[in-house]
Chain A
């Protein structure tokens, strides 16, 4: 059966490079590595174009592969003992418009201190605005695990923010939440 939608590689790159790059950067904390991962993910997509059935499928596939490749890269780095999260803090190689607000930068830095499963769940939740069910599908994890990672990650991040981001927060306002 012929498909109505035909994937256009260049258009998919245009539409989703920012998403893949941001996921990879926030997961690895390394801009150069994130660029490599983004290239690899799109080259892998090129080999799977015949299996992509719709724009939603392409988006889902890219998110899943980007998270998977970022996790692989983290694992390889951990084996090599490289210290992560330097570049996010120092913003090496970023243009002015790429740089987040100081609070944003600090939050990004703090999230990098979370365990990887919690970080992955939070990045997909707050960058991609996915529901826990969608996150579970993307990460191929049980829903209960994803919910638990989201709650624990958010709680941990909130606690870290309370002690680290006092300067950025309005005095007298707590960071909310349960």
Chain B
């Protein structure tokens, strides 16, 4: 840049930095603190929501597992009952067969 002339010198004098208004620094720092508090609050709310979602997911998952296990147990119980019924029936049929065989022997008749 070439040397400054009188006008440019006057311009430079006129354009000295102005002092910042009193309290501006304080306002900036307060706003910064407020913003940080907001960020922390938002972060806390985020983690709270995430925790709530996890709890909900665990509860729903637990309920689904419980329902599945209960149904499985009921199925097993029903199967066991059917098997018991079949065993009883089989036993009864065996008894009837034994009696019929004994009666046939007593009467000497052949079928």
Contact = CB atoms under 8 A, between A and B. Distances in A.
Given A13-B28, A43-B31, A46-B32, A19 B17 contact: yes
A177 B5 contact: yes
Nearest to B11: A126
B15 to A, nearest CB: 4
A129 B9 CA distance: 11
B14 A43 contact: no
A17 B15 contact: no
A156 B10 CA distance: 15
A38 B28 contact: yes
A9 B20 contact: no
B39 to A, nearest CB: 10
B20 A103 contact: no
A98 B6 contact: no
Contact of B7 (A25, A108, A158): A158
Interface residues of B, number: 26
A123 B14 CA distance: 10
A157 interface: yes
A108 B19 contact: no
B10 A21 contact: no
Interface in B12-43: 12-22, 24-25, 27-29, 31-32, 35
Contacts of B19: 18, 97-98
Instruction: Specify the main secondary structure of chain A where it touches its partner.
Output: helix
Interface of A: 9-10, 13-14, 17-22, 25-26, 31, 35, 38-39, 42-43, 46, 93, 95, 97-98, 100-101, 103-105, 107-108, 122-123, 126-127, 129, 131-132, 154, 157-158, 161, 173, 175-177
17 contacts: A13-B28, A17-B20, A17-B25, A18-B19, A19-B17, A21-B20, A35-B24, A43-B31, A103-B14, A108-B14, A126-B8, A127-B17, A129-B12, A154-B8, A161-B7, A175-B7, A176-B6
What are the 8 tightest A-B residue pairs by CB atom distance, in nearest-first order?
A176-B5, A104-B14, A17-B20, A107-B14, A127-B15, A175-B7, A126-B15, A21-B20
Interface of B: 1, 5-8, 10-22, 24-25, 27-29, 31-32, 35
